[in-house]
Amino acid sequence: MAAQSYDEFIDHVKRFSNVEHAVHILNWDQQVMMPEGGTPARSQQVSTLSTLHHELLTSEETETYLSALESSSLTDEQSAVVREIRRQYERADRVPSELVEEIAHTTSSALPVWKEAKENDDFEAFAPTLSKLVDLKREYAEQIDPDADPYAVLFAEYEPYLGLDTAERVLERLRNRLVDLIESIEQSDVALETDAFSGTYPADEQEALCRSALDRLGYPWEHGRLDTAPHPFSTGSQFDARVTTRFTEDDPIDALTSTIHEFGHAMYTLGLPREQYGTPLGQNRNLSVHESQSRLWENHVGRSRSFWEQFLPAVTERFPETSGVSPRAAYEAANQVYPDNLIRVEADELTYHLHIVLRFEIEQQLIHGEIDVEEVPHVWNEKMEEYLGVRPDTDSAGCLQDIHWTHGSFGYFPTYSLGSVLAAQLYATATQEIEALDEQIQNGEFSALQEWLTDNVHQHGQRYTTPDLIEHATGEPLTADYFLDYAERKYGALYEL
Amino acid sequence: MAAQSYDEFIDHVKRFSNVEHAVHILNWDQQVMMPEGGTPARSQQVSTLSTLHHELLTSEETETYLSALESSSLTDEQSAVVREIRRQYERADRVPSELVEEIAHTTSSALPVWKEAKENDDFEAFAPTLSKLVDLKREYAEQIDPDADPYAVLFAEYEPYLGLDTAERVLERLRNRLVDLIESIEQSDVALETDAFSGTYPADEQEALCRSALDRLGYPWEHGRLDTAPHPFSTGSQFDARVTTRFTEDDPIDALTSTIHEFGHAMYTLGLPREQYGTPLGQNRNLSVHESQSRLWENHVGRSRSFWEQFLPAVTERFPETSGVSPRAAYEAANQVYPDNLIRVEADELTYHLHIVLRFEIEQQLIHGEIDVEEVPHVWNEKMEEYLGVRPDTDSAGCLQDIHWTHGSFGYFPTYSLGSVLAAQLYATATQEIEALDEQIQNGEFSALQEWLTDNVHQHGQRYTTPDLIEHATGEPLTADYFLDYAERKYGALYEL
């Protein structure tokens, strides 16, 4: 196939990629800017663009280009592009559009049902909807690959290359080791400084603090923005990657760590090669890798002792009432472990993974038909008891707390833990390869770390599959070792275990 | 043709309408929210969506539906939809896509050339670009209708049904009468109160004032927003119509009237029938009608004595330094005539139209090939002298001041004056049909006027052509009489002529 045809293929790919980027902007606008009354029009706009995207992706043109290119001699980069588009094409093409529409319709009408059930602590009211969603997503998986484990197929939607076996292996190790570690912490006599930042912090002052944190970390404002949203997220392209956060009046650490988390996502996006915008080489690898970037910045940088050494004066300057807080106290406040917390999004660095393990196990059982929807509350509570030693009093604080299943997202949760694990592995390598990294952070110098991440992760886009990217960046396959070492070292020291 | 097919046609129309609405959101975002570095990606997104819109509109499917429907028996509303889509289809289909792309490319690269020429007062640097744009737009008009006056074809892009002869008739009357009226004002011994609002007004306080004005006028915040933009505009749908404004520290009236102007545009959009979103019946009539709504609110309401009677206390409350200003002084400050002003966007209600007449005459001569681009500065300055008695010292303050020609928009300017004229005609009818309208405004009651406008203009969408809509709302064809009566009455009283 002539070079010209490859270029035409890329033009074709850019068309549906641009439609997808437009949808992201519409979604950002809806969550951050749009007045509530705009919903009916926005739903129609997004639905039309999603259909157009699907039609362009699954058009005969795509198949013709792919077949021709697959029997041509291609460079490694060209092969990677063809591999990624082939994958998208096959998954989109195999699912009948009626099923896609039924899923879209069901998830859309599921949202108010879930919200009301959560508000009223009424799982029964949500059960039929959840049951339908499980059936539809099982059917969806079967359409894509009737011979595969349907949960593995769903998981691959979010993380296509790591394989479910890797996820199982990693999460099992986390479960085994973290249950013990958290138990030791509970039995420790050490009580961390918990009230370093007690008090009331006005939202506008918190926002100014978050902006100054982003300044220090090197967020390029000419390519981004900071706004507020009920559920913080980041979205955009290598030219314009935006961050949102939220403010809780009595917890300035929450807004700050959440901002740093989204900053990590945004910097990944901004590190993608600009000249490859609209092609898989200019697109991020999947959710685990994205989450590794946010968690690396949030936890390994933003919750480190060194970070607090250098950043505390900025806090004190803005909030003089915190002038008595020492860097050690701030560090402790940012790193408390709360085993009795029931809510995933409020969990600390350690217990977080047990919340994930629990969901990972339950959603597999649901998709495999090993438990019925009606059993979910009971199984949930049993596992909470087993892994964390607490039992939710209500389903609102239990199996109704997360929105993911309402969206039809089964297989999404494990990518959060895989991201943490990868973050630790990457950070360990960066520490070896960057001279005095910890000292740099203590001095507020973040550019060497940023460059290392761009060189080893961001700039490759989807050039490598996830396992290859990890191998390339760290010299070995994904392993929980680094995260567990980090966790045991850090929390062992904090709680004098 | 079966009813089912009409419904399918509407679904097809909604598809490209939704793509167009998505483009409007991307444009709003670009002007109001997007960081500057986002431009390269945004240009590609908008370009892709514009191409998709064009392809859907000019697809064989559209032609098949239209032909079938045109030989069917249709309701009046269905016929209106078919008429409007046929019109869009023909104009889009007749222009070769290479020409569309060349125009897009040329206008895009013209922008920095124009900006630099304006900055450096260097018309010569812009002349070749302007010349090329004139040629391209002439060719564009010829493709659409080789037998028609090319300027009339271009004008019809912005105002398809009024006809160029109507525009000529109206603008000639404005020129003849306003030149004299302005001369009398210049010779009047009356000096209006010019410094009622002299001083410095911080932007955030001005913004709060604009928000309270929008509150009083009845802007539904659950369907809109107010933001700042260098060039104020309004955009959106009947579910979400947003307003922008800008703040000049020493001129709070400017931000206020500009906000009320954009409010008028937004209320038109919000008054379109919701159930017709995405079809011509849920889409505004053209630019003259849109501008009539903004100018009605800006001038007939926002610059009226009654408005200032009720609104001045809100100003005084926010800016106590204005407590000595009387309603009469505020009214005078909002209605001064400045014949020596050179800049269209800073012009008062009267001289404004002479700025338009001048552009209307020059752009016709350009498109007709009656003058060369090189002659524009000279012709411009001569006409300024003739109509307003002033002569620009520089082309930056003369023929380089507006962006429209750089966008390739020839035929756009007259719609501003037609809008003013229609505003006066509508307001005169509303005054007759609404009991004690002026008193209502003095009491801050705007809902009867709003309802009248929705009933007589907004709710019809594109159900009627522009002349039919005007006839329907006011009982007669478009005429400059009402505007001239209004102008002579109002300014006659102010300047004691």
At B180-206, the pLDDT tens digits run 999 999 999 998 988 889 999 999 999
Cβ atoms within 10 Å, residue A485: 12
CATH of B109-497, one of 3.30.930.10, 1.10.1370.30, 3.40.605.10, 3.40.640.10: 1.10.1370.30
Chain A residues in contact with B270 (beta carbon < 8 A): none
| Residue A297, pLDDT score | 98
> What pLDDT band is residue A4 in, cutting at 50, 70 and 90?
confident
Q: What is the pLDDT of residue B420?
A: 98
* Spatial separation of the C-alpha atoms in residues A209 and A260, rounded to whole Å: 12
Cα separation, A480 vs B479, whole angstroms:
79
For B51, nearest residue in chain A (alpha carbons):
A15
Residue with tokens 């009605």: B296
Question: How does pLDDT run across B374-422, given as a tens digit for each residue?
Answer: 999 999 999 999 999 999 999 999 999 999 999 999 999 999 999 999 9
Whether residue B249 is predicted with pLDDT greater than 90 in this model: the reply is yes
Q: How far is B224 from chain A (nearest CA, A)?
A: 6
The single-letter code of the amino acid at A144 is I
CA distances (Å), origin A350, targets A193, A302, A466, A475, B398: 18, 16, 24, 26, 68
Q: Extract the tokens encoding B406.
A: 């750089």
10 Å CB burial of residue B450 (0-12, 13-18, 19+) is middle
Residues of B annotated in the binding site, as ranges?
Answer: 261, 265, 291
CA distance B110 to chain A (A): 23
Q: Which of residues 233-272 of B touch A (CB under 8 A)?
A: 236-240
Active-site residue, selected from the candidate residues A84, A262, A332, A349: A262
- Catalytic annotation present for B262: yes
Q: Which of B13, B14, B18 to mutate to test the interface with A (most CBs of A within 10 A)?
A: B18
**Interchain contact A29–B (C-beta under 8 A):** yes
Distance CA B448, CA B467 (A): 24
- For B282-351, the DSSP string reads GS---HHHHHHHHHIIIIIITTSHHHHHHHHHHHHHH-GGGTT--HHHHHHHTT---TT---GGG--TTH
pLDDT digit string (tens) for B255-294? 999 999 999 999 999 999 999 999 999 999 999 999 999 9
Q: What percent of chain A has pLDDT over 70?
A: 99
Residue A316 region by backbone torsions, left for phi larger than 0, else alpha for psi between -120 and 50, else beta: alpha
CA A380 to chain centre: 22
Distance of alpha carbon A152 from alpha carbon A163, whole angstroms: 7
Q: How many CA atoms lie within 13 A of A447 on its CB side?
A: 3
8 A C-beta contact, residue B404 and residue B287? no
Give the model's confidence band at A3: pLDDT under 50 very low, under 70 low, under 90 confident, else very high. low
- Does the pLDDT of residue A393 top 70, yes or no? yes
| Minimal Cβ distance to A41: which of B37, B221, B237 | B237
Q: Do A52 and B225 touch (CB under 8 A)?
A: no
Q: Average pLDDT in the A195-206 region?
A: 94
> Which chain A residues are closer than 8 Å to B222 by Cβ?
35-37
For A244, the 3-state DSSP assignment is strand
What span, in angstroms and rounded, lies between the C-alpha atoms of B100 and A209? Answer: 48
Residue of B nearest to A45 (CA): B18
Residue of A18, A221, A269 to mutate, interface with B, max B Cβ within 10 Å: A18
What is the total residue count of chain A?
A: 497
Report yes or no: A41 at the B interface, CB cutoff 8 Å. yes
The pLDDT assigned to A2 comes to 59
Q: Exposed/middle/buried for B158, CB within 10 Å: 0-12, 13-18, 19+? A: buried
Instruction: Kindly state the DSSP code that residue A370 receives in the 8-state scheme.
Output: S
Q: How do residues A143-165 score in pLDDT, each as one tens digit?
A: 999 999 999 999 999 999 999 99
Distance CA B285, CA B287 (A): 7
Using alpha carbons, list the distances in angstroms from residue A215 to A222, A314, A326, A400, B248: 12, 12, 23, 38, 29
Nearest to B40 among A35, A39, A239 (CB): A239
Amino acid at A352: Y
The model's confidence at residue A73, banded by pLDDT at 50, 70 and 90, is: very high
Task: Summarize the confidence of residues B230-250 as an average pLDDT.
Answer: 96
Average per-residue pLDDT in chain A?
A: 96
Asked if B15 and A52 come within 8 Å (Cβ–Cβ), the reply is yes
- Chain B residues touching residue A221 (CB < 8 angstroms): 35
The CB density around residue A293, as the number of other CB atoms within 10 Å, is 28
Q: Which residue in the set B41, B52, B225 is minimally distant from A35, CB to CB?
A: B225
Provide the CB-side half-sphere exposure for B141 (13 A, CA).
24
Going by the DSSP 8-state scheme, the letter that residue A228 receives in this structure is E
Spatial distance between the Cα atoms of B46 and B20, rounded to a whole number of angstroms: 10
- Asked if the model's pLDDT at residue B1 lies above 80, the reply is no
Q: Helix (H, G, I), strand (E, B), or coil: what is residue A161?
A: coil
Phi, psi (degrees; rounded to nearest 5) at A189: -85, -10
Q: What is the pLDDT averaged over residues A187-197? A: 90
Mean pLDDT of B32-57: 95
Count of Cβ atoms closer than 10 Å to residue B375 Cβ: 14
Give yes or no for residue A1 having a pLDDT over 70.
no
Other C-beta atoms closer than 10 Å to the C-beta of A220 total 13
Contacts of B77 (CB under 8 A, 6+ apart): B281, B463
Residues paired with residue A245 on neighbouring β-strands, in sequence order: A228
ipTM of the predicted structure? 0.95
> What residues pair up with A243 in beta bridges, in sequence order?
A226, A234
CA atoms within 13 A on the CB side of A459: 9
Using a 10 angstrom Cβ sphere, with 0-12 exposed, 13-18 middle and 19 or more buried, the burial of residue B218 is: middle
Identify which of B99, B94, B66 has the alpha carbon closest to the alpha carbon of residue B153.
Answer: B94
Which pLDDT score, from 0 to 100, does residue B3 have? Answer: 67
Directed axis angle between helix B123-144 and helix B150-158, to 10°? 90
Element (H, E) at B227: strand B226-228
Of B21, B29, B224, which is closest to A41 when you measure between CB atoms?
B21
Q: Are A423 and A295 in contact (CB under 8 A)?
A: yes
Q: Which residue has the tokens 């020059």?
A: B362
Contact A422, A288 (CB under 8 A): yes
Query: Looking at residue B193, what is its pLDDT?
Result: 84
Identify the CA nearest to B288 among candidates B467, B120, B145, B37: B467
- Residue contact B26–A21, C-beta within 8 A: no
The DSSP string of A19-30 is: HHHHHHHHHHHH
CATH for the stretch A106-497: 1.10.1370.30
Q: Are B404 and B137 in contact (CB under 8 A)?
A: no
B151 neighbors B364 (Cβ within 8 angstroms): yes
Written as six digits, the tokens of A269 are: 């996006």
Q: Which two tokens stand for residue A146?
A: 């009737």
Asked if residues A21 and B42 have their Cβ atoms less than 8 Å apart, the reply is no
Contact status, residue B357 vs residue B174, Cβ threshold 8 Å? yes
Rounded Cα distance, B347 and B353, in Å: 9
The rounded distance, in Å, linking the Cα atoms of B240 and B290 is 16
Q: Within 13 Å, how many C-alpha atoms sit on residue B379's CB side?
A: 17
The 3-state DSSP class for residue B235 equals strand
Q: What is the mean pLDDT of chain B?
A: 96
Residues, chain B: 497
Classify burial at A75, counting beta carbons within 10 Å of its beta carbon; exposed 0-12, middle 13-18, buried 19 or more: exposed
Structure tokens, B488:
């002579």
The secondary element (H helix, E strand) that includes residue A40 is helix A39-57
Count Cβ atoms within 10 A of the Cβ of residue A93 and give its class: 0-12 exposed, 13-18 middle, 19 or more buried. Answer: middle
CB-based contact (8 Å) between B43 and chain A? no
